[in-house]
């Protein structure tokens, strides 16, 4: 176990561990509340937002991520640091509109969490488009995408680009 913290209301416990996951547990029953929040390296730190509705994780895979604290769904893509060293800490701003990560390389990054940002599923589709592949059923395997699927993804994403105000069209 790398890190542990209570939710603001004390009803849930958040753990970060070497098995590449963060987990949310019910403090009364000890049962898991959400599916594991997965990274590709050990999860160094996991924190609840001040309201408990979001979870921040920082991993030895050089990424941080924000998750929905109720459903376990990712709210951001994996947010990476460039350079050497793993991400060693993560936190939310007091207002919850920013997420910060700190790395062993001495770098600190502040990530905006504005509602006008692209939803995580759009960012995942963009990553698939850029990689020309999709993560398969076997963890870590990549499945090549055919040209038709790539065109469909491109057309779908082009129609969802933010306008000058940052709102999605």
Split at pLDDT 50, 70, 90, the class of 159 is low
Please tell me whether residues 106 and 124 are part of one structural domain. Answer: no
Please tell me whether residues 137 and 71 are part of one structural domain. Answer: no
Angle CA(161)–CA(69)–CA(83) in degrees, nearest 5? Answer: 60
| Domain extent at residue 156 | 116-169
Is the pLDDT higher at 148 or at 74?
Answer: 74
Q: Which pLDDT score is estimated for 116?
A: 47
Q: What is the pLDDT of residues 39-70, one digit of tens each?
A: 988 999 999 999 999 999 999 888 889 999 99
Q: Are 120 and 76 in contact (CB under 8 A)?
A: yes
Pairing of strands 54-59, 63-68: antiparallel
Q: Which pLDDT score is estimated for 164?
A: 43
pTM: 0.67
Please tell me whether residues 145 and 108 are part of one structural domain. Answer: no
Long-range CB contacts for residues 97-101, cutoff 8 Å, separation at least 24: 99/56, 99/64, 99/66, 101/58, 101/64
| Residues 149/116/109/71 CA torsion (nearest 10 deg) | -70
Q: What is the pLDDT of residues 7-41, one digit of tens each?
A: 999 999 999 999 999 999 999 999 999 999 999 88
Half-sphere exposure of 15 (CA within 13 A, CB side): 18
Q: What is the pLDDT of residues 84-118, one digit of tens each?
A: 567 888 999 998 888 898 888 788 888 888 654 55
- Identity of the highest mean pLDDT range in 19-23, 77-81, 123-127: 19-23
Angle CA(67)–CA(69)–CA(75) in degrees, nearest 5? Answer: 25
Q: Which pLDDT score is estimated for 145?
A: 73
Split at pLDDT 50, 70, 90, the class of 166 is very low
Give the rounded distance of the alpha carbon of 108 from its chain centre: 17
Please tell me whether residues 15 and 70 are part of one structural domain. Answer: yes
Q: Kindly state the tokens that stand for 76.
A: 């951001």
Please tell me whether residues 109 and 130 are part of one structural domain. Answer: no
Please tell me whether residues 140 and 101 are part of one structural domain. Answer: no
Please tell me whether residues 135 and 99 are part of one structural domain. Answer: no
Domain count within the chain: 2
Q: Are 89 and 101 in contact (CB under 8 A)?
A: yes
């Amino acid at each position: 176990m790398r890190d542990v913290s209570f939710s603001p209301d004390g009803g849930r416990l958040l753990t970060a561990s070497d098995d590449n996951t963060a987990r949310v547990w019910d403090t009364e029953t000890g049962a898991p509340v959400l599916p594991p929040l997965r990274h590709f390296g050990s999860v160094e730190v996991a924190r609840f937002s001040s309201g408990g509705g979001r979870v921040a994780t920082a991993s030895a895979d050089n990424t941080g991520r924000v998750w929905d604290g109720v459903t376990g769904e990712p709210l951001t893509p994996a947010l990476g640091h460039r350079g050497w060293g793993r991400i060693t800490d993560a936190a939310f701003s007091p207002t919850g509109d920013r997420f910060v990560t700190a790395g062993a390389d001495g770098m600190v990054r502040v990530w905006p969490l504005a509602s006008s940002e692209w939803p995580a599923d759009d960012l995942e589709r963009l990553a698939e488009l850029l990689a020309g592949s999709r993560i398969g059923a076997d963890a870590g395997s990549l499945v090549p995408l055919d040209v038709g699927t790539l065109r469909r993804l491109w057309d779908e994403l082009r129609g969802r680009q933010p306008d000058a105000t940052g709102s999605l069209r």
